[in-house]
Amino acid sequence: MSTVATLTNHQIRLAARPVGIPTRANWQSASEAVPETPEGGVLLKTLALSLDPAMRGWMNEGKSYIPPVGIGEVMRAGGVGKVIASKNSKYAVGDHVSATFGVQEYLTLAEADFKRNGLVKIDLKVGSLTQWLNVLGMPGMTGYFGLMDVGQPKAGETVVVSGAAGAVGQTVGQIAKIKGCRVVGIAGGAAKCEWVVKELGFDACIDYKAGPGAVRAGLKEHCPKGVDIYFDNVGGEILDDVLAKITRGARIIICGAISQYNNTTPIQGPKNYLSLLVNRARMEGIVVFDYADRYHLAVAEMAGYLKDGRMKSKEDVVKGLDTFPEALIKLFTGENFGKLVLQVAED
């Protein structure tokens, strides 16, 4: 077995800012020796990384809710892993943790950086490693707080969620069902639509890839009383189609706009926005990190649903740090089915 002094840390660094869909040329493989663990710090081994659509935004120059990844820096990524060396009494070797690991095999953290890196222990009795990246992790928190705090669902209301078979979407739809809403998903392809209805219990799902006008026709059929809450993960034309069907006092949660992330022309904003005026409706953005001090409450609630079988959690696991550049693209082609996770090492 190798000692810390002989461990090599393989990494993926950002080599160049992409135009459109990222390619291999935007990345650079690197390796460096794992440094000594500082006093009060820990050495973590990466087990699995969360691949997120937001990564595309972090590759761009410019101001956002979080600074861009610099050229030459290790790509930012949330993940789960294990403590393999500790000089901190709060963390023992063998503890499982969640943190911003970066796309690399090891992370050495000084105590002063624990909070900034979101280091927290995770309990594998509550959920599996991959569930801690999905419904119990960042996407689950996004779905939970976006729906509950911004959407404020009431039993009997109609909730529409796009990206329905994805990480955030599956959480949103299942919580909305638990809260007594009628839930209509929007997803790409028959297989995903069938899964959200049959396995997750959504009332209906619209296949937006079924042809021109499919979303409009699907909303007409499945939302006869209109849309009270729209949880928007995709933006673009689908947002416009839903805007045309909202009810008075509707709430639209702007969570993401994945249809626009690789645009090489300016982002398409909503054309039907006057529907907000007519319907006295509101559209509000959400950034999950704002809810960090309440994550534990949502985790406790969702862990209960997982345990009693009211909630399912589907992850799509790809393997190997070096596959990161190709794996990331799956989010933008829709090849992922469930939360996309990159397994870096066996536990």
Ligand X SMILES: NC(=O)c1ccc[n+]([C@@H]2O[C@H](COP(=O)([O-])OP(=O)(O)OC[C@H]3O[C@@H](n4cnc5c(N)ncnc54)[C@H](OP(=O)(O)O)[C@@H]3O)[C@@H](O)[C@H]2O)c1
Q: Contact positions toward ligand X, by CB under 6 A?
A: 52-54, 139, 142, 163, 165-169, 187-189, 192, 233-234, 255-256, 258-259, 286-288, 331-332, 334, 336, 339-340
Q: Minimum distance from CB of 195 to ligand X (Å)?
A: 11
Q: Minimum distance from CB of 85 to ligand X (Å)?
A: 31
Q: Minimum distance from CB of 258 to ligand X (Å)?
A: 4
Nearer to ligand X, 103 or 255 (CB): 255
Torsion, Cα 56 61 263 139, to 10 degrees, reads: 30
Q: Minimum distance from CB of 163 to ligand X (Å)?
A: 4
- Sign of the CA dihedral with 234 first, then 51, 125, and 41 last: negative
Nearer to ligand X, 41 or 188 (CB): 188
Q: Minimum distance from CB of 208 to ligand X (Å)?
A: 6
Report the distance separating Cα 299 and Cα 189, nearest Å: 30
Q: Minimum distance from CB of 138 to ligand X (Å)?
A: 6
Nearer to ligand X, 217 or 287 (CB): 287
Nearer to ligand X, 88 or 259 (CB): 259
Nearer to ligand X, 329 or 345 (CB): 329
Nearer to ligand X, 109 or 175 (CB): 175
Q: Minimum distance from CB of 42 to ligand X (Å)?
A: 26
Q: Minimum distance from CB of 35 to ligand X (Å)?
A: 31
Nearer to ligand X, 83 or 306 (CB): 306
- Contact (Cβ atoms closer than 8 angstroms) between residue 105 and residue 159: no
